[in-house]
Amino acid sequence: MVRRCLAYAAVVICSSVAPHASAHAEPRAVIELFTSQGCSSCPAADKLLGELAADPSLVPISVPIDYWDYLGWKDTLADPRNTARQKAYAHVRGDGQIYTPQVVVNGSVHALGSDKSAIEQAIAKSRKNGAMSLPAVTLTLTDGKLNVAVPDVAQGETRRRGLAVRVGEGRHDRDRARRE
């Protein structure tokens, strides 16, 4: 299932790539803003998230939670799975801190969602730690076939693994490419 999703994402990303062209993915920071309509401090964070969206190295995501619903006003965008996600991050970090507006950067570092400086520091810390960093992925489209090469770091060695995806006639045939 994961391979199918990755292959589909690669096809969508490369659908506009010229034949024989090659593209390299660059590391990006994923910025998840846990927010709520019932949070009086969240509008400033929501606005800041919109500003961060202009930075192509960032992937900003608004994640509405539901734990403020007990106050009597139901958040129409909230999802209990989002609350569970925020709690899971806090559990993995070991600090138990969940609040709104809270930003979680690359699933590892949290900051106040309305504090741009704190978010920038969290991004820097996350990148320094290598959390969620992406290896240099090479995508090549040749004769209707998308070749994806991803470095595989094992036992101190870097080997390239590939996945070939045949594109056409509405079906995707996946074959493992040879190791180089």
Domain contains 4? no
User: Under 8 Å CB-to-CB from 117, ≥6 apart: which residues?
Assistant: none
69 and 100 belong to one structural domain: yes
The pLDDT assigned to 133 comes to 54
pLDDT tens for each residue of 48-77: 999 999 998 899 999 999 999 988 889 999
Residue-number span of the structural domain to which 165 is assigned? 135-177
46 and 101 belong to one structural domain: yes
| Strand duo 29-35 + 58-64: pairing | parallel
79 and 118 belong to one structural domain: yes
85 and 53 belong to one structural domain: yes
103 and 149 belong to one structural domain: no
Question: Is the pTM for the entire model greater than 0.85?
Answer: no
146 and 115 belong to one structural domain: no
Q: How many structural domains comprise the chain?
A: 2
Alpha-carbon distance of 34 to 42, in angstroms, equals: 9
118 and 147 belong to one structural domain: no
172 and 122 belong to one structural domain: no
R_g over Cα of the chain: 20
pLDDT tens for each residue of 23-55: 444 567 999 999 999 899 999 999 999 999 999
The chain-wide mean pLDDT, for the chain, equals: 77
Domain contains 3? no
66 and 142 belong to one structural domain: no
Domain contains 18? no
The pLDDT assigned to 27 comes to 60
65 and 153 belong to one structural domain: no
88 and 143 belong to one structural domain: no
155 and 89 belong to one structural domain: no
Alpha-carbon distance of 123 to 89, in angstroms, equals: 16
